[in-house]
A and B are shown apart, each in its own frame.
Chain A
Amino acid sequence: MIKLVNVSKSYLRGVKILRDINLYIEAGEFVSLVGQSGSGKTSLVKILIGEERVDDGRVIIGDWDITKISRREVPYLRRQIGVIFQDFKLLPQKTLWENVAFALEVCGQPPSKIEKIVSSVMRLVGLEDKKDRYPHEVSGGEQQRTAIARSLVHQPKILLADEPTGNLDSINANEIIDLLVRINKFGTTVILVTHNREIVNHLKKRVIAIEKGSVVSDREKSKYSL
Chain B
Amino acid sequence: MFLSTIRIIKFSLQDISRNVWLTIATITILVLALLSVNTLVTVEVLSRHAIDAVKEKVDISLYLKADASDEQVASLKTQISQMAKVKQVLYTSKADALRYFREKNKDNPEVLTALRELGRNPLSPSLIITPNNVEEAPQLINEIKQIKSEVIESRDFADNALILEKINDITKKISEVGLIIISIFIFTSMLVAYNSIKVAIYTHRREIEIMRLVGASNNFIYLPFVLSAIIYAFLGVLIIIILFYPFLGILQPYLEVFFMDYNINIIEYFVNNFWLIFGLQFVAVSLISILSSWLAIRRYAKV
Contact = CB atoms under 8 A, between A and B. Distances in A.
Contacts of A71: 218, 303
A106 B215 contact: yes
14 contacts: A74-B212, A75-B212, A75-B217, A78-B212, A78-B214, A78-B215, A79-B214, A79-B215, A83-B213, A93-B19, A102-B210, A106-B215, A107-B214, A107-B215
Interface of A: 49, 71-72, 74-79, 83, 89-91, 93, 102-103, 105-108, 110, 150, 154
Please give me the 3 A-B residue pairs with the lowest Cβ-Cβ distance, nearest first. A106-B216, A78-B215, A103-B214
A93 B16 CA distance: 11
Contacts of B214: 78-79, 102-103, 106-107, 150
Contacts of B157: none
Nearest to A80: B215
Nearest to B19: A93
Interface in B41-93: none
Contacts of B217: 75, 106-107
B210 A89 contact: yes
A108 B18 contact: no
A75 B210 CA distance: 12
Contact of B210 (A49, A72, A91, A105): A91
A75 to B, nearest CB: 5
Q: Is the interface of A mostly helix, strand, loop or mixed?
A: loop
A114 to B, nearest CB: 10
A106 B220 contact: yes
A80 B220 CA distance: 18
Contacts of A77: 215
Contact of B3 (A102, A108, A150): A108
Interface in B192-244: 206-207, 209-218, 220-221
Given A108-B3, A150-B214, A89 B19 contact: no
A91 B215 CA distance: 15
A74 B211 CA distance: 12
A183 B206 CA distance: 27
Interface in B13-30: 14-15, 18-19
B7 interface: yes
A70 to B, nearest CB: 11
Contacts of B209: 89
Interface in B160-174: none
A91 B14 CA distance: 12
A93 B213 contact: no
B54 to A, nearest CB: 58
A110 B3 contact: yes
Nearest to A93: B18
A83 B215 CA distance: 11
Contacts of A90: 210
A151 to B, nearest CB: 8
B264 to A, nearest CB: 50
Nearest to A77: B215
Given A89-B206, A103-B214, A107-B215, 15 more contacts: A71-B303, A72-B218, A75-B212, A77-B215, A78-B212, A91-B206, A91-B210, A93-B14, A93-B18, A93-B19, A102-B210, A103-B215, A106-B216, A106-B221, A150-B214
B108 interface: no
A78 B218 contact: no
A86 to B, nearest CB: 14
